[in-house]
Amino acid sequence: MKSVFTALAAFFSVVAMAFAPANAETIDTKGFGALTCNAFYAGLESAPEAERATIVFSAISWIQGHNSGKNTVLPASERRDLDQLDHNYIAERLDALCAINPSQYLYMIAEMLFQEMPLINPTSNSLGV
């Protein structure tokens, strides 16, 4: 298990370094959430064509994981229905929100997406009962 965490840490370190923008904005290795929209898209443009889809998929997966994790620790009355938060929805909204808010960090964009999702009815369970 430790080797999986080591591999993930190395992956995110490489991603953060690959996305270091030309204007010397400081990027740490906290993952995609630590990148601004500008830095993310600048890094994406400078990445080799063959790697772009993987980078986008990874960023979208990070947003899904961030919001899923957040949802599990909230009180039941504050949880969101994340069924709509699929890769296509996130990709479209990421582009739109970053166009409006280019200096926002991706973790803030993830929060905006989270807030767009409807609240789960706290009186029903996963079976709708």
Q: Does the residue 122 lie in any domain?
A: no
CA–CA separation, 41 and 33 (whole Å)? 13
- pLDDT class for 33, splitting at 50, 70, 90? very high
CA–CA separation, 67 and 21 (whole Å)? 26
Q: Does the residue 127 lie in any domain?
A: no
Q: Does the residue 98 lie in any domain?
A: yes
Q: Does the residue 84 lie in any domain?
A: yes
Number of domains in the chain: 1
Q: Could you report the per-residue pLDDT of 109-124, keeping only the tens digit for each?
A: 999 999 999 999 756 5
Q: Does the residue 32 lie in any domain?
A: yes
| Mean pLDDT along residues 26-35 | 69
Q: Does the residue 67 lie in any domain?
A: yes
Domain hosting 11: range is 2-116
Q: Does the residue 34 lie in any domain?
A: yes
Q: Does the reported pTM lie above 0.75? A: no
Q: Does the residue 53 lie in any domain?
A: yes
How would you label 54-73 residue by residue, b for 16+ Cβ within 10 Å and e otherwise? Answer: ebbebbbebbbebbeebbee
